Chain A
């Protein structure tokens, strides 16, 4: 069974640029969630995709957007990067409908905005 993978592992961007982060779900999972984890804090929910549609969104501005593909992989796009966007971005996959819907996380992408 393949776990959740994310790419790239590290990324450095400058303020105002755009970035795309990628995630491959664990096999058999149909839901992908994205979280932002600032240094020293717990992860904060950005949004979730189910059946290729946004299924819910946290308190993040529209410049954070995403996609889910038919193979359940996903992208997180952030436009007009700000210094505060520097964080660890975690992708998690789960199976909607099994009750627990345990989310399994990938290794994350560390984004630094200069």
Chain B
């Protein structure tokens, strides 16, 4: 079974600084996908960034980048130039195939709470 581990329960970051959120995973699959989601206090899970196991380059989406180290089975999220609106829970998740070619489920880590200080 797949497992996602986020070891940082909470972090403070100064506004305009960068922050790195750790994520390690365990899987025996050769092909897999890793996702990061943001969950504000409102509850909605907002998709941030995706990294495929065969992608040769680290994923980037605006201020979000993913430091993917396949051999170490880590997929850390870097948020650059933090803003007050970045205060939220952040979840790392892995895609697992459900049934043949159709359908995947997500296995989530426990999350990291980020608080951006002005």
Contacts and interface: CB of A to CB of B under 8 A. Distances in A.
Does more than half of chain B's interface fall in helix, strand or loop, or is it mixed?
Answer: strand
A42 B42 CA distance: 15
B99 A42 contact: no
A48 B99 CA distance: 10
Interface in A39-85: 41-45, 48, 50-51, 55-56, 58
Contacts of A33: 105-106
A55 B98 contact: yes
A107 B45 CA distance: 7
B29 interface: no
Contacts of B105: 33, 45, 48, 56, 58
Contacts of A35: 106
Interface residues of B, number: 28
Interface of A: 31, 33, 35, 41-45, 48, 50-51, 55-56, 58, 88, 90, 92, 94, 96-97, 99-108, 110
B108 A108 contact: no
A56 B99 contact: yes
A90 B33 CA distance: 20
A76 B46 CA distance: 21
A31 B46 CA distance: 18
B47 A56 contact: no
A37 B113 CA distance: 15
Contacts of B103: 31, 48, 50, 55-56, 96, 101
A107 B106 contact: no
Given A107-B42, A108-B43, A101 B109 contact: no
Given A48-B98, A56-B98, A101 B44 contact: no
